[in-house]
Structure formats: structure tokens, C-alpha cells
Chain A
């Protein structure tokens, strides 16, 4: 069994603020893993550190399909197989989604195959009308997420990190995204799906669920981990692993 992603003792800080405090995580190829955790626990930071954003000083090992990417620049990591679907996709005024997909094709090892995958995904995701519109500009939350999923399908990465791909979506759109993730499952792809609600899990079958509290993965297990969280919230885990007193308003159940 090859590992799409293997993260060991990953720490990251921004200035003096330590956000990731030693993350260990493995996602085998062919599996879909879920990472849950309260707001501010470091999930998006993990995504950006995996993607190689240079705002963070990071230490530790990041292996993608066995290759250490931790010294690679953002674009090299992308070409090595890291793909992030952004929680807040960046708007690029004046650049059409179709143009971006063309440039991505040019940068990919096989432009013709990339274009074929793009064409297929444009059809399944009903993205035709968006190809002539600017990237993430004046799109609804759901449309932005579909645009990210289109790019994911075209890129065919080794590890796809989907940061809150379900947030801001109505329930039909959440189901649609979940089904898409299931459809993208392949023996060559590992998926790390980050969410802070469990509702998306009703429509998919993750292989494993991890929980992040205060910059560490503190619990991993099967779908039952998510079910426990749904009934009891993060409080118990936060008491054991978190740095600060429990804040009722930030309770997991309040999000449902």
C-alpha cells in the first residue's frame, strides 16, 4: 500500500505564533480521509503548509507518494502531486477560468490529456457557462467550490486536500460535492477532506476520520469518530488537548 501523503512531526509558525504543533498523518492512495476540528484548530494552516505557502516557517517531513516535497516551491509541489481546493478560492479579475485551465494544461506533463479531462469535467459539473467568466470573480460559494472541483478533476493529483469544500453550501450542493469526491476516488489518489461539520459525511464513506485540536491530530479512527463528535462535540477532546477554556458558542453542535 503506497502512501499518497505522509506527514511527520509537522510544525508551523507565523512570526511567533505556533499554529501546527507536531502533526502526524497518513493518507494511503485510494482512500478518502476526513480531518475535523473546531474553528481555529489549524486545519487551513495545514493545507497551506502542505501547499507550500511561504508565509509559514515549517519544520517536519511531508512526503507525497514517497517523495519529500518539503523543500519544494508551491508550483513544484503542485507538479509533484499536491492539490488544494481552497476554503476561500482567490479571485483573479480579468483572467477567465478557460484561460486558467489552458495555462494549467500547458504546465502539466501531458497537455492533451489534461484538456481531455477538463472537457469531461466541464460537462459533468455543468461548468460551460463559467469557462468564459473570470476566476472566482462574482461567483456564489457553491460555484467557487465547483470550480475548485473542476480543477481537481483536470489536475489528477496524488493528494487532494479539500479545505471545507462543503462550507457555505446548501444541502443539495453538499450532497453533490460528496458524490463528486466519491466519484473521483481512484487507486492513485488520496483525499484529505477537511470539514468542520459532519453533514457531508452522510453522503460519503470516508475510510478514516482524524480530529485536530490546537495544531495536533489528537484522535483517528473510523466513521464512529465523527458520530461521537456529532453527539458530544469537541468539548471532551478540547479539555484534554486544547490550550484554552471551553467556549460554549464555539461548540460543535452549534454549527449543525
Chain B
């Protein structure tokens, strides 16, 4: 078991930049415990586990990738935090691999800088114990069309793993990555992951996460973007698995004219809890953001979306929109949708909308009047519901696989009589 109160002595062979992080996070950890649902950021959910009862996983040594899409240029497998570079045909100007093995200064500067280690017990555990991570570095002026891929998996029940990805995209560059989160159905693991992304001037980075944790895995992911002038960040998550899966996402639109695009599609069944907390901070002038998330829940599943858009005083001409639409497919299922705006500037355009409800009756009537039975009509309606989000997934090469995964999930619910 991890002792949350007394951190083991810090490994003297660690580079100082990791040792320093561990030090301060360990100090923060001593005062932290499982978050209370009374805290706004943890409202609406019952986590249903105590991280203190889990041990720390031994790092895996992955030797193959088991994901539907793998990059031709660079692919990593991260098993229980152990990293292997399995496809390594990197274009010039790109580094992609283990933080520890790289030894580069720019990695040292960025590693752990995006997410406060003492924010909650999970970020503190991550930073107090993580001693390696993956990093992707794109040099100035480099554009790579082919996405990089990472398969992040957990295999050990009762254990915590700490996958970490640091992305640095320098100026005038462009790249993208697809991350798969996977574990087998019976693996009762806890995964505390961190992804930090820094995007330079006029650069563009797109990240798509396909979350397919097994039904007993609990996962808390912290994702943070920081953007320079005219940078564009894209973050997409397709949430399918997990007993509990959370994403806390923070974007800092620091640079003037920077833009953040967020797309989400999630589908919870049985007693899954899917928990999304988006925080967008508009700081620069003329910053823009778009958030578009579609979620469905059936059986006893729960979903939470909270979106906080903050427009700082100096962020004139900001333009921010968030949309969250929810489909409630069973009586026992529930969704929370809480869009929020905090506007400190006076010349801005902001909008938000959220909806919640069952499948549309008129659509069902129309489809059935064409001879489709109810099950067929429902499948088509669910497909149509998610399609609006899936067509926005920037990696179109995986859209079909996502359509199939969503349809399979709904068909399973139909055949088991849950919807």
C-alpha cells in the first residue's frame, strides 16, 4: 500500500528536476486525503474508492501495441507507467520517448510544470511518485501530418500507475497525437495520469484520447494546455470505459489570438461514472474557445460535465462557446451539466447551452413510419446523436472505429434489455 503520509526516501539517482518535484508533492500529500464531494470541483460524484488502499504498481515492459490505430512515425506503449518506444521512425525535428532517457533541458523545464502537484490527493500522489514520463517535442518550424500514438495501459489489480505525457510544441510547428487508455475488464487498477501540453506561437497541436478502460478501472486524468500567441490547441476525448473516469482539463489561453477547441463524446453504462471538469482561462486579447460535448448514459450510469470559462480582465474580444448535450437512455441513469461563465472583460462574446433528455419521439415516429422497428430506430438515433461530435474528431482515420465502439455499446445494452 502507498503510505500517503510518509513518502519513502527519494531515490538519489533521480535527476534533480524529478527529485525536487517529488519533494514538494510529498510535502503536500501529507495534508491531503480523498476529496470530499462538498468541494465544488468534486461535487456530484461518489468516488467509491480510497486511493490509500492501493499499492504502487511495478513498471511494465511493454513489447507490443494492441490498439486499432498505430502511428507509422512514432508510437509508445506505456504499461503501468513503464515506457517502450515501439515505432521510432521520427521525422527530423521530433523527439518522442522517455523523459528520463532523453536528458534534455527543455524537458526538465516542462515536466510537471503544467499541473499543480498539491491540487488534490491524486495530483500529489502522481508527482510524489512519478519518476518518468513520455514526452513529445516538436521543434520550431516542424510540421508532422501523421499522428503519433500512445497506448497507455494498466494491468495490475490493486495497484496505482502514473502515466505522464509532456508535450512541447515550439513556434510555427504542427503535430498531433492519439492516446488510447486501455485495461482488461477485470483489472481493478487506479490510474492517475497527467498530460501537459505547451503550444508555441502560431503552432497547432491536436490530441485525441480514446478512453477504453476496463469496467473495474478507476482513472483520474489531469490535462493542461498552455498557449502562446496565435496557438491553436485541440483536445478530444471519447469516453467509453472505466468504473470511474475523470478528466480535469485546464487551458490557459495566454497568447493573444490563441484558440482552444474541445470535442467530447462519452457513453456510460451499468454503474459507470464519467466525470468531466473543464476550465478554460482566457487571458490574451482576442482568444477564442469552442467546447462541444455529447454524452449518453444508460442503466445506472452517471455523467458529470462542468465547464468553467473565465474571461480575464485583459482578454478583450474573447469569444467562447460551450455546448453539452445529454441523452438519458434509462430511468436509473443520470447526468449533470453545469456550464459556467465568469466574465471580467467587457467586450466579449460568450455563449453556453446544455440539454438533457431521452431519444426524440418525433424522430422515432418518423423512422418507424419507414418500417424500422424500435430497436433499429433507436440505434440510428443514437448514431445520429453522437455523429455531431464524431465529425468534429480531428483524427478522421479513427472516426469509424469510434462509431463502431459506440454502436457496440448501445447494441449490448439493447440485447441485455437495459434500454
- Using Cβ atoms and an 8 Å threshold, which residues of chain A touch B388? 93-94
Q: Does B270 contact A (CB under 8 A)?
A: no
**Contact among B380, B385, B387, B391 for A100, CB-based, below 8 A:** B380
Q: Does A130 contact B (CB under 8 A)?
A: no
- Using Cβ atoms and an 8 Å threshold, which residues of chain B touch A84? 369
Q: Does A6 contact B (CB under 8 A)?
A: no
B368 touches A94 (CB 8 A): no
- Using Cβ atoms and an 8 Å threshold, which residues of chain A touch B365? 51, 53, 74, 90
Q: Does A73 contact B (CB under 8 A)?
A: yes
B369 touches A51 (CB 8 A): yes
When C-beta atoms are compared, the residue in chain A nearest to B366 turns out to be A90
- Using Cβ atoms and an 8 Å threshold, which residues of chain A touch B391? 94
Interface flags, A88-107, vs B, CB<8A=1, else 0: 01101111000110011011
Interface flags, B350-371, vs A, CB<8A=1, else 0: 0000000000001101111111
**Contact among A52, A78, A94, A134 for B370, CB-based, below 8 A:** A78
B383 touches A94 (CB 8 A): yes
When C-beta atoms are compared, the residue in chain A nearest to B376 turns out to be A103
A73 touches B368 (CB 8 A): yes
Within 8 A of A (CB), among B370-419: 370-374, 376-377, 380-381, 383-388, 391
**Given A90-B362, A107-B376, A95-B384 contact (CB < 8 Å):** yes
A218 to B242, CA, bound (A): 63
**Contact among B368, B383, B384, B385 for A75, CB-based, below 8 A:** B368
B110 CB to closest chain A CB, in angstroms? 39
A95 touches B371 (CB 8 A): no
- Using Cβ atoms and an 8 Å threshold, which residues of chain B touch A104? 370-372
**Given A90-B366, A92-B367, A103-B384 contact (CB < 8 Å):** no
Q: Does A9 contact B (CB under 8 A)?
A: no
**Contact among B366, B376, B386 for A92, CB-based, below 8 A:** B366
A167 to B43, CA, bound (A): 52
Q: Does A185 contact B (CB under 8 A)?
A: no
- Using Cβ atoms and an 8 Å threshold, which residues of chain A touch B386? 94
**Contact among A79, A86, A90 for B371, CB-based, below 8 A:** A79
A155 to B391, CA, bound (A): 30
Q: Does A87 contact B (CB under 8 A)?
A: no
Which of A78, A90, A92, A134 lies at the interface centre, i.e. has the most chain B CB atoms within 10 A of its CB?
Answer: A92
- Using Cβ atoms and an 8 Å threshold, which residues of chain B touch A79? 371
- Using Cβ atoms and an 8 Å threshold, which residues of chain A touch B368? 73-75, 78
A75 touches B387 (CB 8 A): no
- Using Cβ atoms and an 8 Å threshold, which residues of chain B touch A134? 384
A52 to B376, CA, bound (A): 18
B381 touches A107 (CB 8 A): no
B380 touches A74 (CB 8 A): no
Which of B366, B380, B383, B386 lies at the interface centre, i.e. has the most chain A CB atoms within 10 A of its CB?
Answer: B366
B301 CB to closest chain A CB, in angstroms? 21
B384 touches A89 (CB 8 A): no
A75 touches B372 (CB 8 A): yes
A87 to B365, CA, bound (A): 14
Q: Does A151 contact B (CB under 8 A)?
A: yes
A75 touches B366 (CB 8 A): no
A155 touches B380 (CB 8 A): no
Instruction: Tell me what chain B mostly uses at the interface: helix, strand, loop, or mixed.
Output: helix
B366 touches A107 (CB 8 A): no
A154 CB to closest chain B CB, in angstroms? 10
Q: Does A108 contact B (CB under 8 A)?
A: yes
A95 touches B369 (CB 8 A): no
Contact residue range for chain A?
20 to 34
Interface flags, B164-198, vs A, CB<8A=1, else 0: 00000000000000000000000000000000000
B381 touches A92 (CB 8 A): yes
A136 CB to closest chain B CB, in angstroms? 8
When C-beta atoms are compared, the residue in chain B nearest to A82 turns out to be B369
- Using Cβ atoms and an 8 Å threshold, which residues of chain B touch A90? 362-363, 365-366
A92 to B373, CA, bound (A): 16
- Using Cβ atoms and an 8 Å threshold, which residues of chain A touch B366? 86, 89-90, 92
B363 touches A103 (CB 8 A): no
When C-beta atoms are compared, the residue in chain A nearest to B364 turns out to be A74
Interface flags, B61-86, vs A, CB<8A=1, else 0: 00000000000000000000000000
When C-beta atoms are compared, the residue in chain B nearest to A79 turns out to be B371
A93 touches B372 (CB 8 A): no
**Contact among A74, A92, A107 for B384, CB-based, below 8 A:** A92
A74 to B372, CA, bound (A): 9
A69 CB to closest chain B CB, in angstroms? 13
**Given A53-B365, A86-B366, A92-B381, A103-B372 contact (CB < 8 Å):** yes
A154 to B367, CA, bound (A): 15
A3 CB to closest chain B CB, in angstroms? 21
B371 touches A107 (CB 8 A): yes
Which of B368, B369, B387 lies at the interface centre, i.e. has the most chain A CB atoms within 10 A of its CB?
Answer: B369
A75 touches B371 (CB 8 A): yes
A75 touches B373 (CB 8 A): yes
Interface flags, B209-242, vs A, CB<8A=1, else 0: 0000000000000000000000000000000000
Interface flags, A60-78, vs B, CB<8A=1, else 0: 0000000000000111011
- Using Cβ atoms and an 8 Å threshold, which residues of chain A touch B367? 92, 100, 103
Please name 20 further chain A to chain B contacts, defined as beta carbons within 8 Å, in addition to the given A89-B366, A90-B366, sorted by A numbering.
Answer: A52-B369, A74-B368, A77-B369, A78-B370, A83-B369, A90-B365, A92-B367, A93-B385, A94-B385, A94-B387, A94-B391, A95-B381, A95-B383, A100-B370, A103-B367, A103-B380, A104-B370, A107-B372, A107-B376, A134-B384
Query: Which B residues form the contact surface with A (CB < 8 A)?
Result: 362-363, 365-374, 376-377, 380-381, 383-388, 391
Q: List 23 A-B contacts (CB under 8 A).
A: A74-B368, A74-B369, A75-B371, A75-B373, A75-B377, A79-B371, A82-B369, A83-B369, A84-B369, A92-B366, A92-B381, A92-B384, A93-B387, A94-B383, A94-B384, A95-B380, A95-B381, A95-B383, A99-B380, A100-B380, A103-B372, A107-B370, A155-B370
Per CB-CB distance, the 3 closest pairs between chain A and chain B, nearest first, are A94-B387, A94-B384, A90-B366
Query: Which A residues form the contact surface with B (CB < 8 A)?
Result: 51-53, 73-75, 77-79, 82-84, 86, 89-90, 92-95, 99-100, 103-104, 106-108, 134, 151, 155
